[in-house]
A and B are shown apart, each in its own frame.
Chain A
């Protein structure tokens, strides 16, 4: 069964600090992995996409990594801001006519 596990479930940090969110998956076949950001009461929005051949990709203060051998990904947030408070969801797509598999998300709270 395809699964995506995220850790931690929730995280509280102080503004300006860095943090790393983890995603482990057992989805096969593998096409790509995306990290989505979901603000409270809003729909998720894609932050980054990682394909099989990519190891690292940055989007501003967000850096995603992918280890396709161990089937792990991480999302690193640098110099956190209050606006980073949100849920971060890891989604793995098998590609083709297969539907994506969602993780349950990590809830991040950034305190001033």
Chain B
């Protein structure tokens, strides 16, 4: 089983729908992140959390919200999806000190 698991792996939805992407990890890491990846733009940070009671906006948080339900779970929500949110979304974890990020397999979201 993967250490960082994302669900769903693929999702097609319509404009205006609410979408939730879920991430769970078995690595025991405190820090969790949500990134989106678009061709030519690389990975951009949406939100991050350094522990259960800590939530921080990244560089592109508009239109997104997150919930850290437990140390192992970090969910990303799109309250009203729009086509330019079509992208590949990655969840990642890390520990303080090393800085190494461990990524999930990604969730491909298409908004029609």
| A interface with B by C-beta (< 8 Å) | 9, 31-32, 34, 36, 41-46, 49, 89, 91, 93, 95-97, 99-100, 102-105
Interfacial chain B residues near A34, Cβ < 8 Å: 99-100
Q: What CA separation (Å) do A46 and B99 show in the bound complex?
A: 11
Q: A102-B43, A104-B42 are in contact. Are A43 and B99 (CB under 8 A)?
A: no
Q: What CA separation (Å) do A93 and B112 show in the bound complex?
A: 36
The interface-forming segment of B12-20, B67-75, B79-87, B103-111 is B103-111
Q: Say which residue of B4, B41, B44, B106 sits within 8 Å of A41 (CB atoms).
A: B106
Interfacial chain B residues near A102, Cβ < 8 Å: 42-44
Chain B residue nearest to A45 (CB atoms) is B103
B105 pairs with A100, CB closer than 8 A: no
Q: A89-B43, A97-B50 are in contact. Are A42 and B99 (CB under 8 A)?
A: no
Ordered by A's residue number, 21 sampled pairs between the chains whose C-beta atoms are within 8 Å are A9-B40, A34-B99, A42-B106, A43-B4, A43-B90, A43-B104, A43-B106, A44-B43, A44-B101, A46-B100, A49-B98, A89-B43, A93-B99, A96-B96, A97-B50, A99-B33, A99-B48, A102-B43, A103-B42, A104-B42, A105-B42
Q: What CA separation (Å) do A49 and B96 show in the bound complex?
A: 15
B103 pairs with A44, CB closer than 8 A: yes
